Amino acid sequence: MQKKHCAFCDQIVRIAADGEYDQYFDCSCSPGGSYSLLRDSYESILALSFQQKRDMLHLISGYIREKMDCGGKVVLAFSDLEEIVNAPGIPVTAEDKGNRLLQYLHRHCGGPGEPVVIHPLSRSYNLTYSPNLQELVYIIDRLQNEELLVREGMNFSLTPMGWEEAAAIAGGRILQQCLVLLPDDEKLQAEWQDKLWAKIEQFGYLPRLLASRSKATNSLESVADSKLVIADLTGQSSEVYLAAGYALGLNIPVIWTVRSDEADLLRIHLQEIRPLVWDTAEELMVLLQQKLLK
């Protein structure tokens, strides 16, 4: 496997070709995961002026990390960068950036006082979309002075007030982990993320994507941390069957779904699992709503 500088965090990482794209593994933008960049876009990014890079690249790094931490998949091209940087959701003020850190801690702990390790801190300033470590440290100090978090070395924990603040930022609700098991079909994954993620969140769940080619150990750990599993059997992925079966063994509720054109091809009888059979994402959204409201 080749190695290359990440265009956004400048870390040297492993890459793998995937059609017209390169996957960048385990850099500061995607610790423990990967993102994809259109291969032809790499030189275009390097050709940006010094000022353009200074203004843009740390924001893209923050965008990648936050989206992946929330369970999304990131596939980028040079033409996407300006739109991302100018999007209204990109934090600008110190307060907004601090809120991003509170939300990150909130996603990774079970309550106030539970520590979350951020290591290495020197490569984690994209958690607040900051251009450098100095700004991240300033934001951490500010949140400590406001008694919203406690830092002990590399361990960070929310105070009760910080926990309430993070929950309020998330809409006043504590979202439960929901693992979505999908086959390795980029079009299908994009359809779910674009059209179904928000609906799942409306019903109190934080959806995280687990594609079928994920490592088995990581898959099972993610299942065990979830309060709900949605398993789509389109494509008949053995990994999806395995992870969903493991969830059932842990008494975690599983909602089964399958696209209608493949319903008759399932290895198990429909009446055994009663999957939601769908034709379009819009139709599935209604079916999920009915299921989650029961």
Question: In three state form, how does the secondary structure of 227-252 look?
Answer: CEEEEECCCCCHHHHHHHHHHHHCCC
84, 63 Cβ separation under 8 angstroms: yes
* pLDDT score of 292: 81
- Other CB atoms within a 10 A radius of the CB of residue 132 amount to 11
* 235, HSE (Cβ side, Cα atoms, 13 Å): 18
* Phi, psi angles (nearest 5°) of residue 34: -155, 155
As a whole number of angstroms, the distance between CA 98 and CA 92 comes to 10
Torsion sign over Cα 224, 189, 212, 263: positive
Q: What is the pLDDT of residue 279?
A: 93
Residues contacting residue 95 through CB under 8 Å, at least 6 positions apart: none
Phi-psi map region of 190: left, alpha, beta (phi>0 left; psi -120 to 50 alpha) = alpha
Return the residue matching tokens 């941390």: 225
> How far out from the chain centre does Cα 27 lie?
15
pTM for the full predicted model: 0.63
Query: Which DSSP letter does residue 175 get?
Result: P
- The DSSP code for 275 is P
The residues with which 214 forms a beta bridge, in sequence order, are: none
Could you list the beta-strand ranges (E) of the chain: 2-5, 12-18, 21-25, 34-38, 75-76, 116-117, 149-152, 155-158, 176-182, 205-211, 228-232, 254-259, 276-278
Q: What is the pLDDT along the chain (294 residues), one digit of tens a residue?
A: 799 999 999 999 999 999 999 999 999 999 999 999 999 999 999 999 999 999 999 999 999 999 988 877 899 999 999 999 998 889 999 999 999 999 999 989 888 999 999 999 999 999 999 999 999 999 999 999 999 999 999 999 999 889 888 887 876 555 678 899 998 888 888 888 888 887 787 777 878 887 655 444 456 777 887 889 999 999 888 888 889 999 999 999 999 999 998 888 776 665 668 899 999 988 998 898 888 876
Please give the pLDDT value at position 215: 47
